[in-house]
Each structure stands twice: as structure tokens, then as C-alpha cells.
């Protein structure tokens, strides 16, 4: 197994073909084997397709969850990458074993909804926060990440074709989004579906408060008076997180040689316009309409 595929991303079509001979994609998706995980009723899961705002959402959820225990200064987010604070189900197997009673019941995963452990899907108490992003920006961000991951020149056009075919880590992208979207419509009290673009344009801190309420940790009047929602938003902002020493030079996926800086690029909306041709953009928009046009989901704010 290639190192790239081991963390759920493949940069070569041959990797997909070779890997499929060893172990077929699961339910039509490409993602690494996930060990058994027994969810607890109060667990919260940050779910996403790669490069759709995962790191940011992890930071926000962690800051909200720990504000009473550690406060904002010194927050663990100042010295630890968000991925260290909120473990991935598929990449941090140590967290699958016996639970530490004091462990924060906050986890993350890129695994598609229908492939999540049954204990998560069937639990009435578990909550899921899902974030999606315009697939055009998602692809561009993914391509940059693959370039940093492999430290080689990744063919933009070939990766684009693979992405559109659904041959990318945890893809197909559209099926991934659709699974969580449908589940959120069926169980809105248990699944919060967010759009990256909405959150980026949230000047009134609506989504920070919405997250806190959904996580059963609403801000008190005293916290509001102290402007805690804004302090959390500032702490978790792209500008602040990307400037921290831990996120500039240290490594989280050390075994794969990935610097933390690989998880921070621009975080902007619409950067795809600087990379995709008109034909490429139209192709993605057409696929989005075909896959999602009848379900009421549109990308963007």
C-alpha cells in the first residue's frame, strides 16, 4: 500500500487500480480501513470530505467544548494542531481502545455517512457536525495538498479528471456530501449540516453560537457579555492558526513526512477562478447539478 493511499489520498490512477485488486473500495468510496469504534451517547463527531474546512471546524468545536476547562489563554490550540486536539477515527487507532473517562468526547472523520460505525449511526445521543464546500474550491485545495504531500509536481489535469470520476480519497465527493445531507434532513436534531461559505461570511457569529447550541453548550449571558463567541472565532481564525509556530514547522502526520503547514493555504472562497478553466468549472457544475440538483442542496453561501 502506498503511503498516500494509507492516509486516504491517492495521487495516481494506478494506485487506485492496484489497491482495488487488494481491497475493493467500500460501498463505492475510497477510504482506509477503519477499526471498530464503539461510540458513547455523548460523543460528537466532526465529519467532512477532505479540504472542506475540517481543520477550522475542529478548532471551533474544540474551543467551544473546552472553554470552561482551559479557557482561551493558554488554549491547547496555541501549541497543538487542531488535528491533535480532535483525533481522527481512521488515523488515530489508539483512541479506539479503552476510553479515558476524562477524554473529550469529540472526534473527527472523513468516512462517508453510510460507512460510519453502526454505533454512531444508530445512537440516539451521538451528534454529527458536517461541513461541505464548493467542489471547485475543494478540488483546488486538494490538489495543493497533494503537491505538498508528495513534494512532487502533481498533474493538475489528471487529478481533475480523477476527482470528477470520484477517484479521490474518501470520494466520490458528491456522494459523500449527499449522504450527510440526506441524513441531516431526516435527523436535524442529531446532524448539523454546515456550508464553508456561510461560515466564512458569518460576521454576526451566528454559526459559532449555533455550534455551541447544537453541542448542548450554549453561551451564557455572562460569556456573551465577555464577547466569548468573538474571542473563539478570533482564536480559530485562519490568520491566527496559520501563523502559530506549531502549524508552520511541526508535523502531525510525522510518519508520512507531512508538515502541519500543508493543512493551511488560503482558506478563501472562489480561489478556483484562478486555477480552473471555464470548461473545468462547467464540468464540475454539471456534475453537481446531476448529482444534487433534485435534493435541494446548492453550494455557496
In whole angstroms, what is the distance from residue 70 CA to residue 244 CA?
A: 19
Give me the sign of the Cα torsion angle 237, 138, 9, 115. positive
Q: What is the DSSP letter of 228?
A: H
User: Is 83 known to be catalytic?
Assistant: no
- Sheet containing strand 191-195, edge to edge, reads 106-109, 44-48, 127-132, 191-195
By C-alpha distance, which of 170, 193, 198 is closest to 295? 193
User: 271 phi and psi, to 5 degrees?
Assistant: -65, -15
CB 149 within 8 A of CB 258: yes
Q: Residue 256: which residues within 8 A CB-CB, separation 6 or more? A: 3, 6, 7, 149
By C-alpha distance, which of 83, 85, 86 is closest to 75? 85
Gyration radius from the chain CA atoms = 19
Q: List the catalytic residue out of 36, 95, 96, 110.
A: 110
Catalytically active residues, by annotation: 110
Amino acid at each position: 500500500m502506498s503511503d498516500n493511499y494509507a492516509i486516504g489520498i491517492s495521487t495516481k490512477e494506478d494506485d487506485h487500480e492496484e489497491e482495488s485488486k487488494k481491497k475493493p473500495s467500500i460501498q463505492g468510496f475510497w477510504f482506509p480501513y477503519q477499526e471498530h469504534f464503539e461510540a458513547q451517547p455523548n460523543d460528537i463527531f466532526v465529519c467532512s470530505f477532505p479540504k472542506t474546512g475540517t481543520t477550522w471546524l475542529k478548532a471551533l468545536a474544540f474551543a467551544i467544548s473546552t472553554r470552561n476547562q482551559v479557557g482561551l489563554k493558554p488554549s491547547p490550540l496555541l501549541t497543538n494542531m487542531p488535528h491533535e486536539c480532535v483525533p481522527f477515527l481512521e488515523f488515530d487507532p489508539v483512541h479506539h481502545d479503552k476510553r479515558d473517562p476524562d477524554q473529550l468526547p469529540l472526534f473527527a472523520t472523513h468516512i462517508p455517512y453510510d460507512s460510519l460505525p453502526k454505533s454512531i449511526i444508530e445512537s440516539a445521543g451521538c451528534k454529527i457536525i458536517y461541513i461541505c464546500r464548493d467542489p471547485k474550491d475543494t478540488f483546488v485545495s486538494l490538489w495543493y495538498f497533494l503537491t505538498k504531500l508528495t513534494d512532487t509536481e502533481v498533474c493538475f489535469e489528471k487529478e481533475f479528471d480523477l476527482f470528477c470520476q470520484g477517484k479521490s480519497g474518501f470520494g466520490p465527493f458528491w456522494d459523500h456530501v449527499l449522504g450527510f445531507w440526506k441524513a441531516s434532513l431526516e435527523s436535524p436534531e442529531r446532524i448539523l449540516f454546515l456550508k464553508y461559505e456561510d461560515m466564512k461570511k458569518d460576521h454576526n457569529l451566528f454559526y459559532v453560537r449555533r455550534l455551541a447550541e447544537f453541542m448542548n453548550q450554549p453561551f451564557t449571558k455572562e460569556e456573551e457579555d465577555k464577547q466569548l463567541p468573538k474571542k473563539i472565532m478570533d482564536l480559530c481564525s485562519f490568520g491566527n492558526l496559520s501563523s502559530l509556530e506549531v502549524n508552520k514547522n511541526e508535523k502531525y502526520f510525522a510518519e508520512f513526512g507531512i508538515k502541519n503547514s500543508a493543512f493551511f493555504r488560503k482558506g478563501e472562497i472562489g480561489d478556483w477562478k484562478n486555477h480552473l478553466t471555464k470548461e473545468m468549472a462547467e464540468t464540475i457544475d454539471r456534475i453537481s447539478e446531476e448529482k444534487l440538483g433534485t435534493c435541494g442542496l446548492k453550494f455557496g453561501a
